[in-house]
Amino acid sequence: MQTTVRRYMPLISLGAATVVLAVLPKTGVPQAWLLYLFYFFLFLAAANMWNLLAGYSGLLALCPAAFIGLAGYTMTILTWLDIPFYVGIIAGGAAAALFAAIISPSVFRMKGVYFAIGTLVVPEILRLVFLRWRPVGGELHGGGAGYMVKGMSGVTAEHRYWLALAIGVASIIVIGIILRSKFGLGLAAIRDNDATAASAGIDVFRLKLYSFVIGAFVTGIAGAIFYSHQGYIEPSAGFHIKWLMTALLATVIGGKGIEGGPLVGTIIVVILHFQLARYGELSLLIQGIILVIMMLAAPQGIMGLVRDVRKTGGVRALLRSVSRGRIKARQV
């Protein structure tokens, strides 16, 4: 009995937390709290999916902005065609997933740093395309000028909060299911050595494709929900590198390749997001400095340090872990 309860405790805890968070808007809490949580849920979904790619699949994909921008544009354009925004959110995720499937044969041919660079330029290419794109017909116009999201007059902040909560919880569930399946075992083998995994009979391309498409779909939905809240999308913001920094920073701070890492890291990233907003574009530089410091001091992240402390025990183990991370960083 105790073993069964212990086994399902994470799921029970997640369910209880979800219920509490779902009723929170009805308890009269300050709207600022709901806004912070709204950003937390969306950033968590993006960070979980980046952790799926970089932490579990060995795919250092630097293109979450491509999925977010495409999904946001898809949702927005569909509202101009009198399609409800919630249908556009799902369609946006599907568009991002389809785009990931289309580019995967090309980008998967690149390895290591070449794959990272190849995916990094994808959002920039899309930004240039959308800056020059002029849809024709009806009232659709603008391209680089961007578009307003239509049909949102009856949608409250609570509705958008619940949508963000849904995708944040869904991202946790998706990661949990994957890690506890044969799919997750295959991804772990690919991450360690894809050549060895292929020789063992694992379909490397298929598993990478699945993780890439799943990551794009969930990230795209999070992006579409964000722009339904924003009410406006334009290329420079939709495909901005800030989306990459958000997902990367949350994952690295929390712990890459650790299930609870993005959850912890996203809390810190949300705090940074609102505290650094006053500095404009300098906020990206500050976040970059924080990222470098974190990678040098504790490359395994906060949850990695906690894991080491639990294994060896005591603060001394924590200090040794940090010191070891610094030595490895110098060697690299």
Query: Distance between CA 221 and CA 163 in Å, rounded?
Result: 10
The number of folded domains in the chain is 1
Residue 122 lies in a domain: yes
Lookup: tokens for 130: 């959308």
Can you give the pLDDT at residue 298? 81
Q: Tell me: the pLDDT tens digits for 101-156?
A: 999 999 999 988 999 999 999 999 999 988 887 664 455 555 666 888 998 888 89
Q: Residue 212 belongs to what domain range?
A: 2-266
Which string of DSSP letters, residue by residue, matches 20-83? HHHHGGGGT--HHHHHHHHHHHHHHHHHHHHIIIIIIS------HHHHHHHHHHHHHHHHHTT-
Residue 213 lies in a domain: yes
In degrees and rounded to multiples of 5, residue 262 shows phi and psi of -60, -30
Residue 180 lies in a domain: yes
Residue 106 lies in a domain: yes
Q: Tell me: the pLDDT tens digits for 141-200?
A: 556 668 889 988 888 999 999 999 999 999 999 999 999 999 999 999 999 888 889 998
Centre a 10 Å sphere on the Cβ of residue 25 and count the other Cβ atoms it contains: 19
Can you give the pLDDT at residue 313? 64
Residue 76 lies in a domain: yes
Can you give the pLDDT at residue 329? 45
In degrees and rounded to multiples of 5, residue 258 shows phi and psi of -120, 135
Query: Distance between CA 123 and CA 239 in Å, rounded?
Result: 5
Residue 308 lies in a domain: no
pTM of the model: 0.90
Residue 231 lies in a domain: yes
Q: Tell me: the pLDDT tens digits for 276-315?
A: 988 877 888 888 898 888 888 888 888 888 877 777 765 5
Residue 100 lies in a domain: yes
Query: Distance between CA 34 and CA 158 in Å, rounded?
Result: 8
